[in-house]
Amino acid sequence: MSRSAHPAGPRYADVLPEGRSSTGTAPPADLNALDGKVWSRTVHRAPGGAVTVGGIEVTRLAEEFGTPAYFLDEADFRARCRAWADAFGRDADVFYAGKAFLSRALVRWLDEEGLNLDVCSGGELATALDAGMPAERIAFHGNNKSVEEIERAVAAGVGRIVLDSFQEIVRVAHIAQSLGRRQRVLIRVTVGVEAHTHEFIATAHEDQKFGLALAGGQAAEAVRRALRLDGLELAGIHSHIGSQIFDTSGFEVAAHRVVGLLKEVRDEHGVELSEIDLGGGLGIAYTSADDPREPHEIAKALSEIVGRECEAAGLRTPRISVEPGRAIVGPTAFTLYEVGTIKPLDGLRTYVSVDGGMSDNIRTALYDAEYSVALVSRASDAEPMLVRVVGKHCESGDIVVRDAFLPADLAPGDLVAVPATGAYCRSMASNYNHALRPPVVAVRDGGAKVIVRRETEDDLLRLDVG
Ligand code: LLP
């Protein structure tokens, strides 16, 4: 039990009653253990030693690729794609939500594993097409798609455009007609349910920029207008209720209300729409406290809900699609940092500064997201020390992991890793303080390859043309 490196660092028992952190998490029994829920599948710790991913030691990865860097476990990513595709089977479609993280290599993996892709901007569309994703397997989202983006999507032949407003119904119809196309579309509706983590609320969430509200008849009116326009082929209804959802009760209410609309449409127009897209938002384990559902459980629950609702409404069961982003890519990557300054604050906690921060993971600052962290360049049997892992930016809110425990012998030069950073970390990375955005390195079967390279100062200066 050595605390010699930072003798003033607070011990957990000194700072919090009953050894509990402010997040309510007690220090883990074994700081060297890696919870398989939180880390990707090929991450292991050599007994008494460093952590490996895809069979490669993190110390070697740090030497070759530098830090900070995201390391993406390709075998795990592919396995998750297959698990989602298998769970939903032939009668449903899985669209990976590219906003979570997108690159050309990743698009090729999706294609190879048989997944479809949801994009929400011209940039994501360009990446998907450039990497060879067949356009008919792409769905295009967004509350304010530009005319140019719509033209590009229609001309490329994307499988679905998800209509988000009355104005867009007309815009897409007009563009499709002028290009001599009939564009397959879904209408995005807001069902009056907003779900986050374990709870969902059923008030006030129509007060948002996305979609057309079911309540008050906007969605039904959108269907009326879309059915009248020659440039559009209305395939179905889309609903997305939130993020980081662990139970299916919110989806149950959403499915009930969407099927209600399908029934209205059948009664009014004599048309049975053939698709329901229930969006994404399925949760992952950021810390050991999170308990996500498996894809097959989600698939079973959603198809039962939709089947039951349709049977009750006397409708043919439509084809279901889902759009998981985080649940596929989130658990497959960790961010590797080198520890720099360590600052023990008596009676409070120890601040551990790493060589990245809010520029590579804005989620803690933006959403109060919780992450875990581990010392990965070596094992340690020092006692737990309560830490806050912070970045190197000029902002006191630059926090990567708010409350965690690391061994008290942590020293500058050690490598720490934050797991479950595959989703919405690189894709939301910024150049704040002219930070250079880290690379994404895919690791698989003893090999590692950069799929998004590290930014350089030349990259920054190239944009600065003044
Ligand atoms: N489909 C639609 C229409 C969406 O709006 C989203 C996410 C998804 C699918 C994918 O959701 P996922 O399965 O990845 O949770 N930046 C935030 C998340 C924003 C999500 C926006 N829409 C974060 O870091 O948590």
* CA neighbor of 296 nearest in space, from 275, 316, 308, 282: 282
pLDDT at 1: 32
Same domain, 156 and 175: yes
User: Of 330, 352, 379, which closes a domain?
Assistant: 330
Distance from residue 243's CA to the centre of ligand 1 (Å): 6
- Using CA atoms, how far apart are residues 404 and 393, in angstroms rounded to an integer? 20
Residues with CB under 6 A from ligand 1: 97, 99-100, 118, 141, 240, 243, 279-282, 323-327, 363, 367, 423-424
Same domain, 349 and 256: no
Same domain, 58 and 194: no
- Using CA atoms, how far apart are residues 342 and 44, in angstroms rounded to an integer? 26
Give the Cβ contact number of residue 462 at 10 Å. Answer: 9
Same domain, 243 and 379: no
Residue 357 lies in a domain: yes
Mutate to test the pocket of ligand 1, among 321, 326, 332, 368 (most ligand atoms within 8 A of CB): 326
Determine which residue's CA is closest to atom 5 belonging to ligand 1. 240
In one-letter notation, the amino acid at residue 302 is L
Distance from residue 241's CA to the centre of ligand 1 (Å): 10
Q: For residue range 8-37, what is the model confidence (pLDDT) as tens digits?
A: 444 444 444 333 344 445 888 899 999 999
Residue 304 lies in a domain: yes
Index of the ligand 1 atom closest to the CA of residue 162: 3
Residue 465 lies in a domain: no
Index of the ligand 1 atom closest to the CA of residue 279: 1
Distance from residue 100's CA to the centre of ligand 1 (Å): 7
pLDDT at 438: 98
What does pLDDT average to over the chain? 93
Domain residues for the domain of 346 are 12-73+331-459
pLDDT at 27: 87
* 3-class DSSP string for the chain: CCCCCCCCCCEHHHHCHHHCCCCCCCCCCCCCCCCCCCCCCCCEECCCCCEEECCEEHHHHHHHHCCCEEEEEHHHHHHHHHHHHHHHCCCEEEEEECCCCCCHHHHHHHHHCCCEEEECCHHHHHHHHHCCCCHHHEEECCCCCCHHHHHHHHHHCCCEEEECCHHHHHHHHHHHHHCCCCEEEEEEEECCCEEEECEEECCCCCCCCCCEECHHHHHHHHHHHHHHCCCEEEEEEECCCEEEECCCHHHHHHHHHHHHHHHHHHHHHCCCCCEEECCCCECCCCCCCCCCCCHHHHHHHHHHHHHHHHHHHCCCCCEEEECCCHHHHHHHEEEEEEEEEEEEECCCEEEEEECCCCCCCCHHHHHCCCCCCEECCCCCCCCEEEEEEECCCCCCCCEEEEEEEEECCCCCCCEEEEECCCCCCHHHCCCHHHCCCCCEEEEECCEEEEEECCCCHHHHHHHCCC
Distance from residue 40's CA to the centre of ligand 1 (Å): 20
C-alpha neighbours within 13 Å on the C-beta side of residue 159: 18
At 321, which CATH number?
Answer: 3.20.20.10
Domain count for the chain, please give it.
2
Same domain, 91 and 54: no
Q: Residue 281 corresponds to which tokens in the numbers above? A: 């938002």
Mutate to test the pocket of ligand 1, among 209, 298, 323 (most ligand atoms within 8 A of CB): 323
Same domain, 311 and 344: no
Q: For residue range 149-183, what is the model confidence (pLDDT) as tens digits?
A: 999 999 999 999 999 999 999 999 999 999 999 99
Does 281 carry a binding-site annotation? yes
* CA neighbor of 223 nearest in space, from 175, 185, 179: 185
Same domain, 48 and 170: no
At 383, which CATH number?
Answer: 2.40.37.10
Same domain, 20 and 108: no
Give the Cβ contact number of residue 46 at 10 Å. Answer: 11
Residue 154 lies in a domain: yes
pLDDT at 224: 98
User: Of 268, 303, 330, which closes a domain?
Assistant: 330
* CA neighbor of 9 nearest in space, from 341, 287, 338, 354: 341
Distance from residue 280's CA to the centre of ligand 1 (Å): 6
- Using CA atoms, how far apart are residues 47 and 26, in angstroms rounded to an integer? 24
Distance from residue 42's CA to the centre of ligand 1 (Å): 26
- What residues are annotated to the active site? 394
Residue 198 lies in a domain: yes
pLDDT at 91: 87
Same domain, 65 and 98: no
CA distances in angstroms from 398 to 265, 355, 421, listed in the order given: 50, 12, 16
Does 363 carry a binding-site annotation? yes
Q: For residue range 248-300, what is the model confidence (pLDDT) as tens digits?
A: 899 999 999 999 999 999 999 999 999 999 999 999 999 999 999 999 999 99
Same domain, 47 and 133: no
Mutate to test the pocket of ligand 1, among 243, 248, 370 (most ligand atoms within 8 A of CB): 243
Does 371 carry a binding-site annotation? no
Does 370 carry a binding-site annotation? no
112 exposed, middle or buried (CB, 10 Å; 0-12, 13-18, 19+)?
exposed
User: Of 280, 300, 330, which closes a domain?
Assistant: 330
Determine which residue's CA is closest to atom 20 belonging to ligand 1. 243
* CA neighbor of 337 nearest in space, from 380, 390, 284: 390
* CA neighbor of 118 nearest in space, from 322, 350, 365: 322
Q: Residue 111 corresponds to which tokens in the numbers above? A: 């294609």
- Residue pair 371/412 in contact (Cβ under 8 Å)? The answer is no
pLDDT at 3: 35
Render each residue's pLDDT in the chain as its tens digit; 466 residues: 333 334 344 444 444 433 334 444 588 889 999 999 999 999 999 998 999 999 999 999 999 999 999 999 999 999 999 999 999 999 899 999 999 999 999 999 999 999 999 999 999 999 999 999 999 999 999 999 999 999 999 999 999 999 999 999 999 999 999 999 999 999 999 999 888 776 777 655 677 899 999 998 999 999 999 999 999 999 999 999 999 999 889 999 999 999 999 999 999 999 999 999 999 999 999 999 999 999 999 999 999 999 999 999 999 999 999 999 999 999 999 999 999 999 999 999 999 999 999 999 999 999 999 999 999 999 999 999 999 999 999 999 999 999 999 999 999 999 999 999 999 999 999 999 999 999 999 999 999 999 999 999 999 999 999 9
Does 326 carry a binding-site annotation? yes
Q: Would you call the peptide bond into 68 cis, given omega within 30 degrees of 0 as the criterion?
A: yes
- Using CA atoms, how far apart are residues 69 and 426, in angstroms rounded to an integer? 10
* CA neighbor of 135 nearest in space, from 108, 114, 112, 117: 117
Residue 3 lies in a domain: no
Does 151 carry a binding-site annotation? no
Same domain, 241 and 305: yes
